[in-house]
Amino acid sequence: MNILGIDIGGTGIKGALVDTKTGNLTSEKHRIATPRPATPEKVANAIQRMVNHFNWKGAIGCGFPTPLLHGKCLTGGNLHEEWKGVQVDQLFTNKTGNEYSIVNDADAAGLAEISFGAGKNKMGVVIMITLGTGIGSGIFLDGKLLPNTELGHVLYKNGEIFEKYAADSVRKSEKLTRKEWGKRLHKYFDHINLILSPDLFIIGGGASKKLGKFIDQIKIDTPIVAAEAENEAGIIGAAMAANFQIK
């Protein structure tokens, strides 16, 4: 079944048609810059443009970069404070007329990797970590998702969360070298490794393409691999989430 998957990020909104049986994109990706400010109204308008680009009338899966509970934003995340309390699926349905399945963006990326990529057939605890504007997480036990975890919000020190210390956006804003950034990531992965004892870490987001430039700084025993779908994983997993809901 072909479903439109949309991955909303802090800097860009990406979409493509996805064959949910194979995990393959069946169209070219389309990207729209995330509006600034990223208010609900402006993002909904961007989603309308995405739907119009594909002339899509069916169901849509959408990866969303905030803490969620049944499609409702618990905070504004890295988008805008006005998102707190917004029922995202209802907002987008009212805007475009399509039915939406809303899933945390890191959970979506993890669904793609567990089903078709680096986590396929992996038993035990597998943790997807997305490195981008923030730090997202998806936890799987024997292939089943524990939704809505927010491991980027684990405290680092002095009340600061790790997301504000080690996200890829921090690397860029502070002009850190990959080695310097890798040392920060070591502190993060070492901490998560201690509290959850996973069998595998999968790194997604834009940073997955450059894993070889910083992986040597993360000195933990647990294997760390790049997402095989790289930054397309969020699109694929979002479409799969919609497919699950249809079923």
Per-residue pLDDT, 66: 93
Q: Are 136 and 65 in contact (CB under 8 A)?
A: yes
CA atoms within 13 A on the CB side of 167: 20
Q: Is 144 exposed, middle or buried (0-12, 13-18, 19+ CB in 10 A)?
A: exposed
Task: Please tell me whether residue 128 adopts helix, strand or coil conformation.
Answer: strand
Q: What is the pLDDT of residues 68-85, one digit of tens each?
A: 999 999 999 889 999 999
Under-70 pLDDT residues of the chain? 245-247
pTM to 2 decimals? 0.92
Spatial distance between the Cα atoms of 239 and 60, rounded to a whole number of angstroms:
7
Distance from C-alpha of 114 to C-alpha of 103, rounded to nearest angstrom:
15
Q: What is the pLDDT of residue 1?
A: 87
**pLDDT, tens digit (0-9, with 9 covering 90-100), for 1-56:** 899 999 999 889 999 999 999 999 999 999 999 999 999 999 999 999 999 999 99
The rounded distance, in Å, linking the Cα atoms of 146 and 99 is 24
In degrees and rounded to multiples of 5, residue 188 shows phi and psi of -65, -55
Query: DSSP H helical segments within the chain, as ranges?
Result: 40-54, 88-96, 105-116, 163-166, 168-173, 178-196, 233-246
- pLDDT at position 207: 85
